[in-house]
Structure 1
C-alpha cells in the first residue's frame, strides 16, 4: 500500500521518504504519521502541502526546518469543515457567508485566533490571527478527517521556489527531508488559495488565487487589494521574491531570443530555444493549472541547455489571471537566498 522513495531521490540522507498511494490504506498511514508528529506532503486542489499536526509545536517547527522557511512567515492551517474552523478562529458573519459559498475550496481566511487556541503559536508566527481553510480535494478532506486534528500545511517545496503540483515535484525538492508523500495525482487548480484578511472591519485581499476577487465581493461587498510585497507578512506568499525558478524570469515578452525558454500563452512567439504552452486557446484557468509545472520544466531543461532566462508572454489579469500575474511578478523579482531570512 505504500513504498519507499525510489533510490537516488533523496539527496540529504536524513530520512527515507515514503511514497504513499491513494486510497484508505495510504490515507490511514499518512494520518498516523501526522498524529505521531511527522511530516507528510499531500495534494489539494491548489498545490501539494507539507502537513504537520498544527497543535504540536515540534512538528510545526519541523516544517520550517524542512522548507528553510523564515520563522516569521505564518502557515495556513487546514481543517475538514467550517465547524472545526470555528474552534480555532473567531468566525464573523462575513467569514460564515464566505465559508458557505466557497468551502471546501481554494479560499483562505485570516481571522482572530480563538482563545484558548489549540494551534501552536509558531504556526501563526506569533500573531494574534490565524490563516485557515477547508481544502476542496476529497483526498485532502479524507486525510484531515482521519487525522482528527488541524493540519498546518504550506506548499511542499523549499522556501521561495516553485510550488509543487505533483508528488514527483515534492520528492524532487524535499525527498529525504520529510517522512512521506501521499500521491493524490496532479492538482486541479494549480495555484495556491486566495487569502482574504477578515481580522479588521475592512476586508483585504492579501493574495489572489483560485477564488476571484469579484466572486468574493459578490458575497461580502468591496474588498481592498493589498498584495504588495512585505518583509513582515501576516499570511503566506507576501514576500517580493517567491515561486521562483533558478533561471531569471522576464515578463510581458513580445519577442524571445534563441537563448531563452518561452512560457507561451496563445499563439507562441517564434525563435525560442524551448517552449512550454500554458494554453494554446488562451484559457486562463488552463494556464493556472499548468503554470508551476511549466516553470519547473523550462527551468530544468533550460539550465541543462545553458539558456539565460525564461520569457513569459502576457496573460490577461482577469479572473484567475490576477493570481497568475501575482505569481509571475514574484517569480521575476530579485531573489533572496532560499535558506536566508529576508530583511525585516
Structure 2
C-alpha cells in the first residue's frame, strides 16, 4: 500500500525522506516534489525499476527517462565530457528548471530506455528532492503522470493518476513553477532548445552569448 507523507510537518518530512530513500534503494517507485512539477522516480542504475517507471506512466523505451542529480559535481561522472557551454548553463541555472541533453559516459551501467548514447540531466531547486537525491544518488525521474495526461503539480494529482504503482508519495505542496523544464540539447555542433519551459529561450541565449533564434530546434 502506498504511503503519503506531508513534508510541511517536520516529523512526517523526516519519516517520509527515510521511507523514500529506502524505497528507491529497494527498487521501488517514489513521487517527490520538484520546482517544476512532481516527479516519479527510482534509482537510475536499477534497470528493473526504470522499466516499472515506464510501465506506470504507460510509456515505451522510445521515450527514455531523464536523470535528476543532487549536486553539480555528480554530472562529471555521468557524461562523456563537460563542455564549456554545459558548465556555463549549469552555473547559471542549476539548481533550477533547465535540463541538459549530453553524451553519457560510455562506461555507465544503466538502462534508461532508447537513449542513443545520450542522457538528459537536471538538478532541481527543491529541498525535499535534493535531500532524496543526495541519499540515493542519481535518479531516473519523469513527470508524475500517466503519459498523455497533464503533469502533476501536487502530490494528490500524482496519486490520482499513479495510485498504488508508487510506494512513497512525498507531499511538498503545490509545485512552485508548475511548468516543465526547458530542454537544451548539447550533443550536436551547436546547442538547440528542444523545449522552452521554466527557463526562457532569451535567458539561455544570454548565457551562451548568441541570438535566441540560433537556438531554435526547428530553424
Q: Confirm whether residue 116 of structure 1 aligns to residue 107 of structure 2.
A: yes
Match of 1:47 in 2: 37
Aligned-residue CA RMSD in angstroms?
1.4
Q: Confirm whether residue 70 of structure 1 aligns to residue 60 of structure 2.
A: yes
What is the Cα deviation at residue 171 of structure 1? Answer: 0.9
What is the Cα deviation at residue 21 of structure 1? Answer: 2.7
Match of 2:70 among 71, 80, 89: 80
What is the Cα deviation at residue 29 of structure 1? Answer: 1.1
Distance 1:198 1:126, change over 3 A: closer
Q: Which structure shows the bigger proportion of residues in helix conformation?
A: 2
Whole-Å separation in 2 of the counterparts to 1:124 and 1:77: 12
Deviation digits for residues 29-82 of structure 1, max 9, x if unmatched?
A: 101100111000111000001001000100100001111112210211000111
Deviation digits for residues 62-121 of structure 1, max 9, x if unmatched?
A: 001111112210211000111101111132100001111110000000000012114x22
Match of 1:197 in 2: 185
Whole-Å separation in 2 of the counterparts to 1:131 and 1:92: 15
Check conservation: 1:124, 1:130, Cα contact below 8 A: no
Check conservation: 1:30, 1:40, Cα contact below 8 A: yes
Structure 1: where are the runs of 5+ without partners?
A: 1-15, 229-344
Moved over 6 A (4+): none
Deviation digits for residues 268-303 of structure 1, max 9, x if unmatched?
A: xxxxxxxxxxxxxxxxxxxxxxxxxxxxxxxxxxxx
Match of 2:2 among 12, 17, 20: 17
Please give the residue correspondences for 1:1-344 in structure 2 after superposition, counting only pairs within 5 Å.
16-22=1-7, 23-89=13-79, 90-118=81-109, 120-121=110-111, 123-147=112-136, 149-222=137-210, 223-226=214-217
Check conservation: 1:124, 1:131, Cα contact below 8 A: no
Structure 2: where are the runs of 5+ without partners?
A: 8-12
Higher Cα Rg, which structure: 1
* Structure 2 counterpart SS, 1:125: coil
* Structure 2 counterpart SS, 1:115: coil
* Structure 2 counterpart SS, 1:104: coil
Check conservation: 1:52, 1:59, Cα contact below 8 A: yes
Check conservation: 1:110, 1:132, Cα contact below 8 A: yes
* Structure 2 counterpart SS, 1:181: strand
Whole-Å separation in 2 of the counterparts to 1:202 and 1:103: 21
Could you tell me the TM-score, scaled by structure 1's length? 0.59
Whole-Å separation in 2 of the counterparts to 1:28 and 1:227: 44
Say which structure, 1 or 2, has more relative contact order (CA 8 Å, 6+ apart): 2
